[in-house]
Structure 1
């Protein structure tokens, strides 16, 4: 049997370590990662191996040669242009004449490949995916199988709401040669995104083998550290090519250690390493070959590649150093610091926690380095939450951060693209907007500044000026500490897709920004967007009808911008608006209704003429009624009550059940410039028109709305347990009526329950609907208890 090792990975999330090193050549315990893959194949009797190359191919060829040194035969296939996972295997077609195995050269595993091949044979499979279970499945392909092992569903890099299992694709496959006939030549084709979904659609025999054993996809610096710790702890069955001189202390040949050196296992020390007097090497440290550690230096949980030089009395804690790095005396490298190849750190310099230094940089003596060189500080890999990027003002979201964020975004756009910018009236939000503007223009992107505004107007401007996207910044002051929210929209004015969120996150993570003096972007200031928005909004409704009714409203909103923005609109509609706090009392002002407008302009709360606040379900029902005749189709989340769907049908509006994300709901009707569920001003005006038609006060109209019995609660659930909890929940309710649009929706005779892992916090959301309020509450409590029990097993 033959195998294909996919070895074309760049390892962008491992930068700066992989700037000059392809990911399969990243060392694990002083050996390239791919070497362990070759040993695994050989252990299972597979010695005839094809290797696909793309990024820095000569580094792999020069080390492994023809494979004879490792007891195997290697044949290389290089891609002139990226062909994707499936395309790269198709590129080896001339080599593959029988059943074959595909495996990644940049993962570490001891999974039993022979048992996987037996499983494939027993089931008569065309393709078998080797699966494993992981704690956090977000960065992998989640796979669901039936009792026989046949794959029933496949989700590539799901959101938490799509995590129906903790069983994921390892990127290892057993294929019959016929698989190659389904892959087009000389075209970029991906197994997970294209080929496997096509196999599912065609009902071809696609199986999943859930394997026991260790598997690590070395996709991040944290995982890179942890993988080597696992190797030192003996958690993975691999050959460690060194002497174990004491429990979990491994030394290669010709190591020189002074008698005063202190070693705390587990540690790994490569060939020709010299540890001078008084050196202390703490647990989980790995020292590459030919490194010199000078007297009095302390190392803890640090990983050094070959030819490192560490001066006297330096201190490294949790740092990673690339090849040929020189660290001067008395240097302090903080937790998580990463130093690229051939860097020089001057004496007494301090490199703070988490700082990354790209290759060939020099840090002067006594320097205090608190930001990465040269691209900026490391940011969290997951930037986006449920509705944009959110963080503490001037702590997590700073001008420096948004400058880098905008540069990363610009890197993904074509030069000369136009981006609409806006922010709320808060001075800090405006300051951030200018930082974004400067960064975009310096990256060759044209910006259209629409000034102080709200998110719906930003979305409108994107379409009005044919922009490629938009960014809106506003302050969320609902919590004790002020937070900033940054929203990105695409060329249709819709929130960017999760795919684009990942691209932006990866660009920040990789810190690959491009700026040039040859092409700078232009700044355009547009002052008439709000007037155009208001004029088109008025064309959507019967303004004369509202004028005849003559409403008096109490409006609670931010005081600096919204009153001025609303004044022309209310003037055109003959609406008298009083601005004040709803808590002062609706009755005291004698108004027809009261509105609390959220600062972002997307959501609002409504109060009747008697002062009663509408529930979210009542408000949604009223919004649906108010858009009667304006649209043929609307997206409602799976969490919306069944009564909303029935109400829409009576109005001859088609309902499409969607995920809870704003984009999912809005893209059902992408051509609409105003969305009733995400444009508070438009929705309010439509409700005024509806009240005018019905000739009833809001309190009477509310009493006629359908009754919905809902309950919502949250259950604490660590991130590492979410995938397992969802799998157990799915297994427990197998055979019942389920809906898997977003999370797991379970139906029974008393109603339904939606179990939805939170995307931003360590808990699971539970939303239920019952025939009575009591049954809704009982359902939510029952499922909350089960989720807690799953975690205690």
Structure 2
């Protein structure tokens, strides 16, 4: 691969800095944002880098020169006038021979790009974009995709969109195949998302890669301060999938949302008190938050998978309104008991995913490089506690939901807490 950093914008939201230097040259922890990006690219073995420059371009070019002092090779695409986020791509027509990792110049990130590349190639995509949950999905563009990752639509933060959506936000990093650049014929102001990506979505050529890794734009004062804090604490590098991750596995019903019997409609979803606050604390302290839930409503034919998606969308939307998110969700649709006339026989089976089996935990460990020795399982039933114990996790039983009164198994949790917030506060002291 080679890399392209889009760094030509004016950065009007950080005007107090960008009247003298371009936004990607703002220093965080003693280094320009661009230098942080180049270090991550180099760590991933990507040393051929092109940087698009425009506003105050001399500051970038004088600092990095040809890249030799930073262990990379740097070329520049110079805008004579502002051309948006991808208008300058016409200068790459015929010049690109390899897949290009493209990143916006205001994104602080650290990630294992090889995982992204494997997804991109397996999907057969022309363009793949990184998506992740964030703490403000209500004012972010949301990516709608199918279960294979094929992007169906981008819901703009400024346009009409459904009330509930998965918290999948465009993170500002992409993989683009060479032939995409050949479609640019001359200098014209264009937007990467609205003009380029949208046209390829129509052709079914765009896929979304969801990751738990750290990617955050530092384009506002609040985010500038937040990203600097996260660099100082090491959170940015620790979230990279080059490293083992710490995780809190969470039951859903009775733990995050209130227990209302079998949940088969979005109308039944209501967050437990302070659940959003609890998850926000985990998000801010570098813990993955992964839901592990049995949902026999499928096997019992109380709802279908589309409705299950709508339930999850509402949950993620409500958490987003509380500035919190879950990183992933694993659902078992099976149920072993047969003999009901309305049931779906294909899901009435014994499986390795239904708790207290640990199949879903094992899938999460494989996908997200999780260190079980630094991780926890939180739930409201003895089934949850047995699942966590079998997986080698420290376990916490909540007094919300069933509060352990299912009494299916003779197990002892490592800790008992009144609610999810108390559990999280205990976890953060360990």
If the TM-score is normalised by the length of the shorter chain, which range does it land in?
A: 0.5 to 0.7
Deviation at 1:738, TM superposition (A): 9.9
From the superposition, tell whether residues 162 and 2 of structure 1 become closer, same or farther in structure 2 (CA, over 3 Å). Answer: farther
Deviation at 1:714, TM superposition (A): 8.4
CA contact (8 A) 2:164 2:314 kept: no
Counterpart of 1:149 in structure 2 is 149
Deviation at 1:11, TM superposition (A): 2.1
Deviation at 1:110, TM superposition (A): 0.8
Does the alignment pair 1:106 with 2:106?
A: yes
CA contact (8 A) 1:130 1:209 kept: yes
Report the secondary structure of 1:15's partner residue.
helix
TM-score by length of 2: 0.56
Does the alignment pair 1:75 with 2:75?
A: yes
Q: Distance in 2 between matches of 1:24 and 1:50?
A: 14
Counterpart of 1:735 in structure 2 is 305
From the superposition, tell whether residues 172 and 762 of structure 1 become closer, same or farther in structure 2 (CA, over 3 Å). Answer: closer
Deviation at 1:64, TM superposition (A): 0.7
From the superposition, tell whether residues 34 and 713 of structure 1 become closer, same or farther in structure 2 (CA, over 3 Å). Answer: closer
Higher relative contact order (CA 8 A, sep 6+): 2
CA contact (8 A) 1:86 1:183 kept: no
CA contact (8 A) 1:136 1:720 kept: no
Report the secondary structure of 1:199's partner residue.
helix
Q: Distance in 1 between matches of 2:49 and 2:139?
A: 28
Deviations 1:2-61 (A, max 9, x none): 211111132222231222121100001111010011111111111111110111111111
Q: Distance in 2 between matches of 1:122 and 1:173?
A: 15
Report the secondary structure of 2:51's partner residue.
strand
Counterpart of 1:185 in structure 2 is 186
CA contact (8 A) 1:67 1:74 kept: yes
TM-score by length of 1: 0.32
Counterpart of 2:131 in structure 1 is 131
Counterpart of 2:329 in structure 1 is none
Gaps of 5+ in 1: 239-710, 747-752, 764-787
Give the 5 Å matches for 1:376-387: none
Deviation at 1:162, TM superposition (A): 5.2
From the superposition, tell whether residues 163 and 21 of structure 1 become closer, same or farther in structure 2 (CA, over 3 Å). Answer: farther
Q: Distance in 2 between matches of 1:133 and 1:165?
A: 8
Instruction: Flag the structure with higher strand content.
Output: 1
Counterpart of 2:200 in structure 1 is 199
Deviations 1:75-114 (A, max 9, x none): 1111122222222333333542222111122211111112
CA contact (8 A) 2:269 2:314 kept: no
Counterpart of 2:165 in structure 1 is 164
Report the secondary structure of 1:63's partner residue.
helix
Deviation at 1:235, TM superposition (A): 0.8
Q: Distance in 2 between matches of 1:218 and 1:734?
A: 40
From the superposition, tell whether residues 109 and 163 of structure 1 become closer, same or farther in structure 2 (CA, over 3 Å). Answer: farther
From the superposition, tell whether residues 20 and 714 of structure 1 become closer, same or farther in structure 2 (CA, over 3 Å). Answer: same
Does the alignment pair 1:25 with 2:25?
A: yes
CA contact (8 A) 1:50 1:92 kept: no
CA contact (8 A) 1:141 1:155 kept: yes
Counterpart of 2:85 in structure 1 is 85
Q: Distance in 2 between matches of 1:161 and 1:51?
A: 37
Counterpart of 2:226 in structure 1 is 226
From the superposition, tell whether residues 737 and 236 of structure 1 become closer, same or farther in structure 2 (CA, over 3 Å). Answer: closer
Q: Distance in 2 between matches of 1:152 and 1:191?
A: 17
Report the secondary structure of 1:77's partner residue.
strand
Report the secondary structure of 1:90's partner residue.
helix
Counterpart of 2:39 in structure 1 is 39
From the superposition, tell whether residues 719 and 92 of structure 1 become closer, same or farther in structure 2 (CA, over 3 Å). Answer: farther
Deviation at 1:201, TM superposition (A): 1.9
Q: Distance in 2 between matches of 1:190 and 1:169?
A: 14
CA contact (8 A) 1:106 1:217 kept: yes
CA contact (8 A) 2:23 2:106 kept: yes
Give the 5 Å matches for 1:420-439: none
CA contact (8 A) 1:108 1:217 kept: yes
Gaps of 5+ in 2: 239-266, 281-287, 298-302, 324-399, 402-418, 422-430
Deviation at 1:200, TM superposition (A): 2.1
Q: Distance in 1 between matches of 2:234 and 2:314?
A: 41
Report the secondary structure of 2:76's partner residue.
strand
Deviation at 1:754, TM superposition (A): 8.9
From the superposition, tell whether residues 208 and 734 of structure 1 become closer, same or farther in structure 2 (CA, over 3 Å). Answer: farther
Report the secondary structure of 1:17's partner residue.
helix
Counterpart of 1:419 in structure 2 is none
Report the secondary structure of 2:187's partner residue.
coil
Find the structure with the greater CA-based Rg. 1
Deviation at 1:756, TM superposition (A): 11
From the superposition, tell whether residues 756 and 24 of structure 1 become closer, same or farther in structure 2 (CA, over 3 Å). Answer: closer
